[in-house]
Structure 1
Amino acid sequence: IFLARLGRALRGFFHPAAGSDLLWDIRKVAKTRPMLAHIADAGHRAMVERVIDAFEEHAAPVIPGLRAQIVHNDMNSYNVVMDAARPEVVSGILDFGDMIHSPLICDLAIGAVYRWPAEGHPLAPAARFVAGYQSVQPLEIEELGILFHLIRARLALIANIASWQAGRFPAKRDYVLRLITEVWTSLERLDGLSPADARRYFLDHSKPE
């Protein structure tokens, strides 16, 4: 819900730097292909390459037609402040340094990534997050149609960039790889889903309560 409210608050805002070329832009995940060489495990490397291939085939052609605005672009758990007295309430949002002009659905996909799948359907936590978002900001059918590809693309970005940074900056290895176990687990679980099944799951399970 808080991410949807932030999106509404940012609607109409613009800044010349919002068009900057940012490495963490989901739309440009294909540009990180050279970083695949830094992923040591061949199976993981092939999995990330499949994600990028699918993104280019199914999501990239759709993205230019989607509604866009300036978005936060890094809504992970480290950038959210919770109310100490009411831990279920978000009291603040941090780190606006990655803000860009991008499709609104990309911002939602980033937030959904960090709802790590545990038991049950691998998209269940993300679908609950999307349902909360839609209670404030309903999504268009085209946006839901590529959400699965966007989520996987963000995971691929994390895997590629973190692996590259770990090799380039050994002193920061532990920090840049702090989420890599969750990333690989998520990618592996999502790898077993077809885009059609994922789309249907979001359509059926992300309706606002």
Structure 2
Amino acid sequence: MKLKNIVLAGIAVLSLVTLAAPTVYARRDSHNVQTDHNDMIRSSQLAKEGYVFRLDGMDEADGGLWSQPFGQNKRDLTSIKTIHKIIKNHVNFKIYRVWHYKNGMQYKVTSRSGQYRGWIDDHFIYNKYSLDKQLQPIIYQERKVVGSINTKYPFTTNYQAADLKAYRNDLTKAGEEANQLTGNKKPIALKSVRQVKGYIKHHNDNLIPTLLWQRVK
């Protein structure tokens, strides 16, 4: 199974965070959050993203798509052979439900045709646009900001003046890059930049853009 580095808020894991390595953001359980429950707000937010998510990194031990989330009486709805076919064919999915449990999150996903539907662990899914070459300059600046905040300020928005200035400068660069794009890439990039600006202000995990959900290449 492919391993992914998840940027966490806990001080105990801050040593794992590096900007040089492929990093997956915003798929963590918020501190002090109730576990084993549906997150209706996040479910609604992610559903609006549409069919931009793809599966990756699953092996025999992980199974396929499940009928129920973690902690429930779940069963596999798809074989691992089918999952590998889905990954190979780059089938797009939409997330429409989010389930928190003690050690993370799971998503209920559906393909556009409705042929494939079920629950999946958060670290087996990524935003397909995270691999888009035109968006890499924006993603780079955003990763710098989010990675630094989660490392230096895991539980606070009381930033040092120099750091706050650097974050704003990085997002200004990201915004300039985004405005040079055309087609559907431009609104995707601009929305992502706005979300990171919101993250700086509120430090809410739900504001980290899914554009930063990346697979290990």
On whether the aligned pair clears a TM of 0.5, the verdict is no
TM-score, normalized by length of structure 2?
Answer: 0.26
TM-score, normalized by length of structure 1?
Answer: 0.27
